[in-house]
Structure 1
Amino acid sequence: MLRTSLKTLVSASALTLALGAYGAPLELDLPAQPLAVTLKQLASQAGVTLAVDDRLVARRSAPALKGTFAIDEALSRSLAGSGLVVQRSGDVWLIMENQPSAALDLQAITISSDLVSTATEGTGSYTARAVTLGKGTQSLRETPQSVSVITRKQMDDRNFTSLDQVLYSAPGITLQTRNFGDHQYNSRGFELGADAYLVDGMPGVIHSPTGWMTPDTAVYDRVEILRGAAGLLVGNGNPGGAVNLVRKRPTAEPHFSVTTRAGSNDFYRMDLDGSGALNESRTLRGRALVAYEDRQYFYDREASRKPLFYGIVEADLNDDSTLSVGLRRQTSVTTGYSIFGLPRYSNGKALDVSRSTSLAQDWNRHESEQTEVFADLEYRLSDDWTSKTSLTRAEGGFDQRSALPQGAINPATNTGSRLFRTLYRNDDVTNTGIDSNLSGNFEAFGLRHTLMVGGNWSREGQYSKTANINTAAGAGAIDVFNPNHQVLARPTRNGWTAVNDSTETRYGVYGNTRLYLSEPLSVVLGGRLSWYEYETEETRTGAKAGNRQDHEFTPFVGVIYDLDEHWSWYASYADIFQPQSDYRTAAGSLLDPAVGVNYETGIKGELYEGRLNLSAALFYIKQDDVAAADPSGALCDTNIDGFCYLNSEIQRSKGYELEASGELLSGWQVAAGYTFNQTSKASGGPTDYQTPKHLLRASTTYQLPGALNRLTVGGAVSAQSGYSTDTYGPEVSNSGRAVYDALATWKIDQNWTVGLDAKNLFDKKYYKSVGELRRGNYYGDPRSYMLTLRGEF
């Protein structure tokens, strides 16, 4: 049994570091910190090869080490009280469970520096050793595009529980609030639509992830964000990027955590997360997570309740195959639901009302539910080749009713806004997806290369019923300076005014290879052949519409040159197509898809044995054949707004990005990114006026040394330049701003940590998103506090 478990142990993760003399004593001054971090630092300083299963050290802490130690003594002190021991055989130091009967058999062990665990949970780090966006496992330095990773440690430090919070803090990502509550995020000036989101690398299996059905991030180990065209990953979409949500996995070692939070605006939340082996041999592992959130908001009337369950079981069927099955169940009930924000003055000026102002009626309501089941089977064909097949099925929907306010405010009379309509909407949504791929290494011409091939299929069905009830003339007037939340009686819905049944299917085959032309120079070649079909029917009238794209090819080409052992230069080309199913020409034909291309070059650095990642990138994006209104003014009843369209618009985006993530010094974590971005359209103006020219997102924590090593302090800043538009008449603008956060945590003992988090520390009053004169303007959160108590066992 030991022979098998050791093979699995080291194959799962091996840290291979430069060998050196490890007899010399080490001068150490390490703080109390996650065990994985201490082990990496010891191995690096001593110059030894350390083999360790990340699942063994995850969630464990190491005590402070200060003084002069031999490497074996330092390792033993680090493992004290953990139930783990260190054994040495030749040049290898192996961390394993303390089993007296264990006999070390290195003939059963294969140590490979290519096999690196990607989990960020338990590492205590603001950077990731590798990403899985492209199905395989690659370090950030080996990826010839701009990628940011929001790790589990970042999410925990900043108390992020929703995908919205994660994206709003990410480098290069901006908020574009949309009507009806289904807001979007932009990357490099282009919208990240629902088709840009993946779960464990699978596209097309999540609906409205930043709007009506946003997932709770407690179930994810990390969020990987690629900026630029991602056709190879998602098939179709805009050229802004892609977001991959990576689920938490079971651990072999028993672990339990409890997190309680209480904060401003009556925010209360508790998370319970348990994981561990389910049998003695640890070939069967499980994890269960439950959470419950009850909160109100800084604006009046709105409140929500959000229960969550997540469970996953992982089984080693034999030495070479692992099966995982899991379930996520999430619901949300929101009362006082507000979806149109605030209006502006008719001259374009912003309202200076209280940030607590809401125009919602008390009977507004939004309910959503999601049930997701998933499974994946990984088969290790050999030391070099692995196949993986994944299945996901998600069912859910939402039900909402809301009185819709709109109307610019007359600055002379302070009137003009009214509840013009009530919307009832009920959607049932299903998502089904399958992905199967084969990845591995091969040797040719004396060099080692990589190859990955696969295919996937997904289908989303949406059955949407809506009823719009217009408010009677002269009724529904609302005073934005002193709103009455009961000014309009809830109207009775008599049936549905529109019922649409739509299906979106996409499938394709893909592949990429990294070919080494020499030791430092490699070329990445990839491509995807995609099929796309969209069908919709208005079931009351029988009216049908649809779109189909066959064998659309999206290539990818990248070049990576290793300047030295730490730095690489890269350049890449990627493209993507976007179907335009909602638009027809005057002749009645569907528009061709828009095609976006992304050119990028940059430098990436990986320092301190991968604990710090640095990057600088230049990019240029062009999207051709974008839908634009027919200048002849021709009308098309089949289009969403009644006008005919042409493939005549061209959109461009260019700029540069700087990013750093990881450990600058011992105990000092940082995640920071600066983006300079200019966008334009051939017809004039920017592609998205809410994309600022300058954007800075940065967060940091520092664990104090010495006697104060139980204290960690940190902060964050989100700063951006202003923007303006005259799209809706008088100029609408939003000035630049900088918003600061702060945090502090105190480690009470080996198990318990207490923390205080302050958002918008200086209580900056600003609009986080600016829309039209009549609606769509949203204040940013005022200063708020969060007290957190976390236990790890």
Structure 2
Amino acid sequence: MSNPSSRLAPVALAIAVVAASCAAAPLAHAQAAAAPVAIAVSAQPLGSALNELARQAKLQLMAPPELVVGKQAPAVSGTLTAREALDKLLAGSGLVANIDGAVVIVRKAPEPPPAARSGHDGTLPTVNVVAAPNVRDAAITEGTGSYTTRALTIGKMEQSIRETPQSVTVVTRQQMDDLNLVTLEDVLAQTTGTSKSQRNFGAHVYMMRGYVLPESNFLLDGVSGVTYNPTGWVPVDTAIFDRVEVLRGAGAVVVGAGDPSGVINMVRKRPRAEKHFDVAFSAGSWNNFRTEIDAGGALNEAGTVRGRVVAAYQDREYFYDVTHSKEPMVYGVIDADLTRDTKATVGLRHQKVDIDGYAIFGLPWFSNNTPIDVARSTQVAQKWNRHEAVVNDVFAEVEHRFNGDWRGKVTVSHGETDITQKLGTIRGAVDPVTLKGPAFTSLYFTDRDIKADGLDANVTGSFEAFGGKHQAMFGADWSDVKSGFRSTTLSRNIPVDIYNVNHSLVPEPDTPAYANSLFDHEKRKSIYGSARLQLAKPLHLLVGGRFNWYDFRATNQLTGAITNSYKQNAEFTPYAGVVYDLTREWSLYASYASTFTPQTQYFTVSGEALKPAVGANYEAGVKGELMDGKLNVALSVFSIKKRDVAVLDTANAGLCPGISTSNCYRNVDTMRSTGYDLEAAGQIARGWEVSAGYTRLKTWDPTGMPLSTDTPKHLLRAATSYRLPGDLQDWTIGASLSARSNSSVPPIENPGRAILDLRAAYRINKNWQAAVNVGNVFDKHYWEIIGGTRNGNYYGTPRNVMLTVRGSF
């Protein structure tokens, strides 16, 4: 029998071949553009008006942004064809366009002949008009129906994926809706090159290129200061996001301390000019119910003040026993055009997570390092186990355009998070002969409160010099995070039958006085800058860097003693890259970034914080921007070298004796990781979207032994959506595949696997759509993550079904 890992590379190659062969297949969507539909577009700026028309008419728009900047559009409504609506919306704008199926391309109108200019024949020339997103909207994915984007904002300077000399994945709004990706954890589980790793107390993490994604590398609209573990304790609800931008490798210019894992930029939805009311109702396996409401539009007649409210509520049980969660969320945001060139934005989010029957350690395995054979519904939590979290975020932003080429933006944010846990813990390896070993070992009580403030100010623009056009960006950021942590652990030793878990084994206790009280204060600030220089027509040089200041102090609040401190001044992390345009569609690139990562959140078995990790990130590759920018493809190779990196101390698994609130870690002298990514995202044919990525990774320590073994060597993620042509155009079908090779947390092994999901959607009428998603179609039995023989092992989700009905008005 062949090893599953050896088959992943051919599968990735087959997907690439199929995608390439399908890209030439023409699909007729002209009927959709010609059919009359109900149109309702309010008077507003031209760019946003045409975006809304495209959304309502199911068109894809392409136009240079400068063609629509500063122009206004009248209100248009009625049952119209796309052509009729376009002509009414922008007649006389000086623009013309061609409709090719469902794609409309805009350009300047040619000079009319003399007779037309003088009006001798008494008629006006025919004007066929469409527009694309304006310059502020080029990166927005909402309403495009696409699995890719035309621009990125993760690096402050707006540029395309092809122009970025690093590996980047963008999970669009359409992907999140199609695949029911309702948390950030769901998004990362579908992202190229990411893998999940077990951590105690539910604080699971994601890894890229063999390294843990630290909390400081999670950004909101490009600003740091996330106040919690966003993939564990408080799963971020994605209903508020337009897209999630994922940069793999060191983000030396993007974040204050360059870490070679990657950067996650969560981009919030902003108000739309047109009035809209969108709803979604979902019901699925194990009593999983969810409701979303998204409404907004112009708040005054001139359209200069716009608002939006997004609310979601999820009430669900799980495939395993006892656990039940309720998660309400509300987000509100207002945009105001203070002047023609100045816009202010304010917003807030409130999210709550209540989980009964919460388990923090997962299942044990047999003591001989083999998996136990209990049902997938087995859960080791007590019914009274409880996890509560409340998050409140506010932010404000002012953006000003100095002229057509330069703009400045200042963003401030404040977040507060409170997390409490009351837990009964069950751990212990199972004897394969006696089936005994697990025990109820402790009662555990925690209370965390975190406050974070963030500030980012930057200026970006372009200029001409030495015969070329160049871009530049410079700015500064600051963050201040204060976190308090209180805990008490009460020991118990009550045997547990893992094959018949008693979820009421111990009566619910009252919360005692806290025996431990810690306070951490982390301050970061930096100044940064970068430039994209056109050295020659096909050659661009990107240079940049940051000076970082970092200050951390931990205090025992019961004794007043400083238990840990670290300070770093003016640490410089440089960055350089080069992009060479082979053609208008293909580019070669190479880049280098220095890395510097404080590791004060990780402790050794003796309770000491780890030293910072430093290193370098090298990457090179080729990128293509095909199908008139609707399809992005890339092949990248990378090599990372890092000293003093934090890795799990597997010799001291479970609760760390040095600090009882975490796993133990250790510094490794030098860690190396190398590999490559192969990725394609976007439209491969009309109506056919795809997002697929394959990663090959190798990590090792100074002795040559594999390191970060819980990261698979081979990882494939693929998703596709196809809108049927002709009389079946109301139907859309889709599928997603997640496949990976084996991984391990020595001495236990987790075999490779491939999980297939399917989707079918039907547009009932112009307002309503229904979709069915089936996860794990073949009901594969597998372990999603593993942690050790005593605890930390979690079954993957069995076959499941979700019905979603969406309405747009």
Q: Is the shorter-chain TM-score for this pair beyond 0.5, marking a shared fold?
A: yes
The alpha carbon displacement at 1:688 in A equals 1.3
Q: What residue in structure 1 maps to residue 486 of structure 2? A: 465
CA contact (8 A) 2:33 2:81 kept: no
- The answer to whether the aligner puts 1:559 opposite 2:578 as a matched pair is yes
The alpha carbon displacement at 1:585 in A equals 11
Q: What residue in structure 2 maps to residue 30 of structure 1? A: 30
Instruction: Give the letter aligned to residue 792 of structure 1.
Output: S
Once the two structures are superposed, the pairs formed by residues 35-50 of structure 1 within 5 Å of their partners are: none
Once the two structures are superposed, the pairs formed by residues 398-437 of structure 1 within 5 Å of their partners are: 398-437=419-458
Correspondent of 2:530 among 512, 518, 522 = 512
Once the two structures are superposed, the pairs formed by residues 468-617 of structure 1 within 5 Å of their partners are: 468-471=489-492, 473=493, 475=494, 477-544=495-562, 545-581=564-600, 592-617=611-636
SS in 2 for 1:379: strand
CA contact (8 A) 1:34 1:122 kept: no
Q: d(CA) in 2 for partners of 1:522 and 1:411? A: 62
Moved more, 200-209 or 299-308: 200-209
Correspondent of 2:82 among 78, 92, 95 = 78
Distance 1:647 1:364, change over 3 A: closer
Q: d(CA) in 1 for partners of 2:131 and 2:80? A: 24
The alpha carbon displacement at 1:542 in A equals 1.9
CA contact (8 A) 1:203 1:233 kept: no
Q: d(CA) in 2 for partners of 1:677 and 1:297? A: 33
The alpha carbon displacement at 1:92 in A equals 4.4
CA contact (8 A) 2:405 2:462 kept: yes
Instruction: Give the letter aligned to residue 301 of structure 1.
Output: V
Residue identity over aligned pairs, in percent, reads: 43
Instruction: Give the letter aligned to residue 741 of structure 1.
Output: D
Q: What residue in structure 2 maps to residue 721 of structure 1? A: 741
Instruction: Give the letter aligned to residue 337 of structure 2.
Output: D
Q: What residue in structure 1 maps to residue 699 of structure 2? A: 679
Correspondent of 2:795 among 779, 782, 788 = 779
Q: What residue in structure 2 maps to residue 162 of structure 1? A: 183
Query: Gaps (5+ residues) in structure 2?
Result: 1-25, 36-45, 61-78, 98-104, 107-123
Q: d(CA) in 2 for partners of 1:34 and 1:136? A: 38
Q: What residue in structure 2 maps to residue 707 of structure 1? A: 727
Instruction: Give the letter aligned to residue 479 of structure 1.
Output: D
SS in 2 for 1:202: coil
Deviation per residue, 1:760-788 (Å, 9 max, x gap): 01100000101111000001100000001
Distance 1:83 1:296, change over 3 A: farther
Instruction: Give the letter aligned to residue 593 of structure 1.
Output: P
Correspondent of 2:471 among 400, 425, 450 = 450
Instruction: Give the letter aligned to residue 791 of structure 1.
Output: G
CA contact (8 A) 2:687 2:723 kept: yes
CA contact (8 A) 2:258 2:594 kept: no
Distance 1:389 1:34, change over 3 A: farther
Q: d(CA) in 2 for partners of 1:609 and 1:514? A: 23
Moved more, 84-93 or 340-349: 84-93
Moved more, 619-628 or 380-389: 619-628
Correspondent of 2:91 among 83, 87, 94 = 87
Distance 1:556 1:308, change over 3 A: same
SS in 2 for 1:136: coil
Q: What residue in structure 1 maps to residue 322 of structure 2? A: 301
Deviation per residue, 1:247-299 (Å, 9 max, x gap): 00000011110100000010111111102111111110000111111100111
Q: d(CA) in 1 for partners of 2:615 and 2:307? A: 42
CA contact (8 A) 1:60 1:82 kept: no
Deviation per residue, 1:577-596 (Å, 9 max, x gap): 11233689999998652113
The alpha carbon displacement at 1:231 in A equals 2.5
Instruction: Give the letter aligned to residue 526 of structure 1.
Output: G
CA contact (8 A) 2:148 2:632 kept: yes
Correspondent of 2:363 among 323, 335, 342 = 342
Instruction: Give the letter aligned to residue 468 of structure 1.
Output: T
- The answer to whether the aligner puts 1:657 opposite 2:661 as a matched pair is no
Q: d(CA) in 2 for partners of 1:327 and 1:138? A: 28
Q: d(CA) in 2 for partners of 1:426 and 1:586? A: 23
Q: What residue in structure 2 maps to residue 67 of structure 1? A: none
Q: d(CA) in 2 for partners of 1:461 and 1:542? A: 16
The alpha carbon displacement at 1:481 in A equals 1.0
Instruction: Give the letter aligned to residue 746 of structure 1.
Output: Y
SS in 2 for 1:542: coil
CA contact (8 A) 2:345 2:398 kept: yes
Distance 1:768 1:506, change over 3 A: same
Deviation per residue, 1:511-536 (Å, 9 max, x gap): 00001110100100010000011111
Moved more, 216-225 or 682-691: 682-691
Once the two structures are superposed, the pairs formed by residues 763-778 of structure 1 within 5 Å of their partners are: 763-778=779-794
CA contact (8 A) 1:31 1:705 kept: no
CA contact (8 A) 2:47 2:131 kept: no
CA contact (8 A) 1:34 1:124 kept: no
Q: What TM-score, normalized by structure 1, do the two folds share?
A: 0.86
The alpha carbon displacement at 1:196 in A equals 1.3
Correspondent of 2:760 among 734, 744, 753 = 744
SS in 2 for 1:301: coil
CA contact (8 A) 2:257 2:573 kept: no
Q: d(CA) in 1 for partners of 2:238 and 2:678? A: 26
Distance 1:558 1:343, change over 3 A: same
Correspondent of 1:692 among 712, 717, 723 = 712
Q: What residue in structure 1 maps to residue 243 of structure 2? A: 222
Q: d(CA) in 2 for partners of 1:54 and 1:200? A: 25
Q: d(CA) in 1 for partners of 2:786 and 2:606? A: 37
Query: Gaps (5+ residues) in structure 1?
Result: 1-25, 36-49, 65-74, 96-102
Distance 1:688 1:550, change over 3 A: same
SS in 2 for 1:60: helix
Alignment root-mean-square deviation, CA: 3.2
Q: d(CA) in 1 for partners of 2:532 and 2:59? A: 42
- The answer to whether the aligner puts 1:732 opposite 2:752 as a matched pair is no
Once the two structures are superposed, the pairs formed by residues 23-422 of structure 1 within 5 Å of their partners are: 29-30=29-30, 32=32, 55-57=51-53, 59-62=55-58, 77-78=81-82, 85-90=89-94, 92=96, 117-236=138-257, 238-422=259-443
Deviation per residue, 1:548-586 (Å, 9 max, x gap): 111110000000000000000000001221123368999
Q: What residue in structure 2 maps to residue 45 of structure 1? A: none
Q: d(CA) in 2 for partners of 1:610 and 1:293? A: 37
Instruction: Give the letter aligned to residue 750 of structure 1.
Output: K
Q: What residue in structure 2 maps to residue 71 of structure 1? A: none
Distance 1:159 1:647, change over 3 A: closer
Deviation per residue, 1:377-434 (Å, 9 max, x gap): 0000111100000011011211111111111000001110011011101111111100
Deviation per residue, 1:588-628 (Å, 9 max, x gap): 99865211311000001001111100000000111113369
Q: d(CA) in 1 for partners of 2:601 and 2:309? A: 42
Q: How many residues align?
A: 723
Distance 1:90 1:280, change over 3 A: closer
CA contact (8 A) 1:582 1:640 kept: no
CA contact (8 A) 2:694 2:717 kept: yes
The alpha carbon displacement at 1:206 in A equals 3.8
